[in-house]
Amino acid sequence: MTRFSFLIHATSGKARTGVITMKRGEIRTPAFMPVGTAATVKAMKVEDVRATGADIILGNTYHLMLRPGAERVARLGGLHKFMGWDRPILTDSGGYQVMSLSDLRKITEEGVTFASHLDGSRHMLSPERSMEIQRLLGSDIVMAFDECPRADQPREVIARSMAMSMRWARRSREGFDSGGEHAENAALFGIQQGALDEGLRRESADALRDIGFDGYAIGGLAVGEGQEAMFATLDFAPDQLPQDRPRYLMGVGKPDDLVGAVERGVDMFDCVLPTRSGRNGQAFTWNGPLNLRNARFAEDTGPLDERCPCPVCAKYSRAYLHHLHKSGEMLGAMLVTEHNLSFYQQLMAGMRAAIAEGTFATFAADFRRNYLRN
């Protein structure tokens, strides 16, 4: 069985559709990965996540290393068995979460020393330890350990950070490759850094190519720079990465972000937005997002989205979902999360079909006209 392969089946402009094949299954691209931070996609059972159309989910190295602990997960049979998900799992490296703990961490060439946000205990995360944790979890797609600086830092700060991330990328490669059986079955992705700077992004991409990875992520975006700046960076960043490898835009995003990024050649995404919004009463629809706490839905007997075939839209009214959220009932979070993840997977399926038919530009224009009209 193939450890890792990526075949592009069709293109439409810069947009690509294809399939990543791994030992635990195929991943259709463009792909959206629901986020399962602490070994759970919040408010969802794994079989329901799969039923939405998800081929792969994301687990979080930082949170799982702190609780329940990577060694414990390994003793319990690995992350797949622990959470009951038998398809591919991508784990992030822990770098982004550690960097967000600006008051609780210290960065050196060796790695990052930080205090747990749970109990204040001290930990060290290095490229080698990140690879070890992801190996203990049994991740299928392992992410290199990197630093993710804010995009508004001075260029020299971003350049220094990017250069260190590239040194860490090589150490990640070496640490992953020393992982025996896990390395023979899993894949390793490198992460391009450089914020919004085309020259630094090029330098980063060249360094990653030199090391060699199964796939390449675009890091350092969706960190407050805004959609216009993100798209301006995506106008060049994906093209700097190898054409024959998957390109993964980390932490993105809103439905219109996904369409614009696919338009620019991105293949993979993850974001907490559909699940977090589901818990907060925001539903995504083909006609734009809805705030179900709004009084105008109190007696609305229609489904969340007339175009959506998901079980929630088939059975429950906007009025009922409004009531659940106003009452603080957990079922409200569960149902809107299920719908949102279903909608995201329908969007990805629609994009894959349009690319295969060579009509992606028309699909994108129609989507934006309906989604952004309010």
User: Which positions are catalytic?
Assistant: 92, 270
- Residue written as token pair 């085309």: 198
Tell me the angle at which helices 330-357 and 318-327 cross, rounded to the nearest 10 degrees.
130
Q: Name which of 254, 208, 206 is nearest 230 in CA terms.
A: 254
DSSP annotation of 149: -
Start-to-end Cα distance in the chain? 48
Q: Please tell me the total number of residues recorded for the chain in this structure.
A: 374
SS3 for 261-277 is HHHCCCCEEEECHHHHH
**CA 120 → CA 66, 76, 101, 103, 105, distances in Å?**
11, 26, 12, 12, 11
**CA 215 → CA 18, 187, 197, 298, distances in Å?**
14, 8, 21, 47
The string of DSSP codes covering 266-329 is --EEEESHHHHHHHTTEE--TT--EETTSGGGTT--S-S-TT--SHHHHH--HHHHHHHHHHT-
DSSP annotation of 374: -
Q: Name which of 249, 231, 252 is nearest 192 in CA terms.
A: 249
DSSP annotation of 84: T
